[in-house]
Amino acid sequence: MKLTVYPSPLEGSVTVPGSKSIMQRALAAALLADGTSIIHQPASSEDCLNIGAVIEQLGAKTELVDGALHVHGGMKPLQDYVHMGESGLGTRMFTPIIALLSTPMTIVGEGSLMDRPMGQFDTLLPALGAQCKSNDGKLPLEVVGVLKGGEIEVDGSMSSQFLTGLLMALPLAENDSILHVKDLKSTPYIDLTLEILEVFGIDIEREEYHTFKIRGKQTYQPSEITVEGDWSAAAAIFTAGAVAGGNKFAVEGLGTQFTQADESVKGALLFAGARLMNTDEGLHIHSHRLRGFEFNASDCPDLFPVLAAMAVFAKKPSTIHGIHRLTHKESNRALAIQEEFGKAGIQVELVEDKMIIHPGKVQKATLHSHHDHRIAMAAAILGLAGAPITIEDADAVGKSYPDFFADLSDLGAEIDVH
């Protein structure tokens, strides 16, 4: 899909979709619980629908009842492979779970997922009693169980998702486990994993973020859980509001029960001088002359594209730290931002581990999403407050926020679909 976003004042309110991070973890936990779990306000992004299909391939049965997703759990694979779509979290979370099975399984995917690194499992799983063979560190993965547990060291410098998978699976292993984790990134995502495990009756002890003690032979309990609004999606709307919103611009549907890394967007907005106000319904924000800001996004790398787009409209250059976290996303996001913003006349410097965004007059341009949902959203922000921006492969937003452009349109954005 190709569309053009024109400079437009935004006004009104929008309810963001459910968190895909919460939803995918809840689906995995519901699969592992014998009995029926209920997921209220289920998220329906492409990643979430793919993981819903994964748990059905692994034996769960799902049905919608009055808007809630009922998951009848229990692992009884229907075939000898599972297809992960393009979900990086899903692959890294379910690989250790699949290693609990005694039957050989192959894990496949498509699109950008085929280039994302999975080679850690080649060493992690054998150290815990299972076997894993990757395709030179990438998909497909051939997994043979059974995961028994043990004491190992986990490198958390690339992604916290490998650790999330181990934390989900090892409570069901025969033996106790101790994980010694070094250089862990995105710690809020581990907090979220532990919070959801607690909802489903799983107990894990941790010492800061470097040692996790996991008792084996635990049992997942069928539970009810509500999927709160996605702060990653909200960040795209917030930054749009910061550069193009009026006095009646609000984001609704966000909760506070679970930790979400991208809630830190509030701090970035405040650093930039945006005006925020909490209400009973949500968070109000309206456009204001923004100042250059400095922000460390190492623990919340998904914020990079939309914060970079917001920084274009600040008074002075802004600096965002942590670009080492951007290499293995749906695209190499640091290079994608630099390339695509450059087409619109905006200078972006990549210096060591930081991105420096120089404010400038946005020029009319055609940008490519790089098949990356967050790059597509950032391009839209440039169009809303700058100059007409045509976005190729704009439907990439479906991965996390299928209604993104429809919601912008409802807020007053002028958008032409070609």
pLDDT at residue 256, as a whole number: 86
What are 185-231's pLDDT values in tens digits?
899 999 999 999 999 999 999 999 999 999 999 999 999 999 999 99
Q: How far apart are CA 182 and CA 184, in angstroms?
A: 6
What are 73-94's pLDDT values in tens digits?
999 999 999 999 999 999 999 9
pLDDT category at 249 given cuts 50, 70, 90 is confident
pLDDT at residue 132, as a whole number: 97
pLDDT mean over 121-136: 97
Is pLDDT above 70 for 281?
no
Is 183 known to be catalytic?
no
> Which class would CATH give 20-215?
alpha beta
pLDDT at residue 287, as a whole number: 67
CATH architecture assignment, domain 3-18+228-417: Alpha-beta prism (3.65)
Is pLDDT above 70 for 332?
yes
Least confident of 90-99, 200-209, 280-289: 280-289
pLDDT mean over 343-355: 97
The 3-class SS string of the chain reads CCEEEECCCEEEEEECCECHHHHHHHHHHHHHCCCEEEEECCCCCHHHHHHHHHHHHCCCEEEEECCEEEEECCCCCCCCEEECCCCHHHHHHHHHHHCCCCCCEEEECCHHHHHCCCCCHHHHHHHCCCEEEEECCEEEEEEECCCCCCEEEEECCCCCHHHHHHHHHHHHCCCCEEEEEECCCCHHHHHHHHHHHHHCCCCEEEECCCEEEECCCCCCCCCEEECCECHHHHHHHHHHHHHHEEEEEEEECCCCCCCCHHHHHHHHHHHCCCEEEECCCEEEEECCCECCCEEECCCCHHHHHHHHHHHCCECCCEEEECHHHHCCCCCCHHHHHHHHHHHCCCCEEEECCEEEECCCCCCCEEEECCCCHHHHHHHHHHHHHCCCEEEECHHHHHHCCCCHHHHHHHCCCEEEEC
Bigger pLDDT: 249 vs 372: 372
- Percent of the chain at pLDDT > 90 equals 92
Residues sharing a CB contact under 8 Å with residue 234, sequence separation 6 or more, in sequence order: 16, 251, 254, 262, 265, 283
User: Which of 302, 395, 403, 407 is the catalytic position?
Assistant: 302
| Cβ contact 142:168 at 8 Å | no
pLDDT at residue 331, as a whole number: 83
pLDDT at residue 303, as a whole number: 97
pLDDT mean over 247-251: 86
Residue 83 tokens, joined: 């297809």
How big is the chain by its Cα radius of gyration, in Å? 21
The yes-or-no answer to whether 3-18+228-417 and 20-215 have a common fold is yes
Would you list the domain boundaries of the chain?
Answer: 3-18+228-417, 20-215
Is pLDDT above 90 for 327?
no
| Cβ contact 102:172 at 8 Å | no
pLDDT mean over 60-78: 97
Q: Which of 386, 405, 416, 345 is nearest to 244 (CA)?
A: 386
151: left (phi over 0), alpha (psi -120 to 50) or beta: beta
For all residues of the chain together, what is the average pLDDT?
Answer: 96
| Cβ contact 47:402 at 8 Å | no
What are 355-385's pLDDT values in tens digits?
999 999 999 999 999 999 999 999 999 999 9
pTM, 2 dp? 0.95
pLDDT mean over 89-109: 97
pLDDT category at 353 given cuts 50, 70, 90 is very high
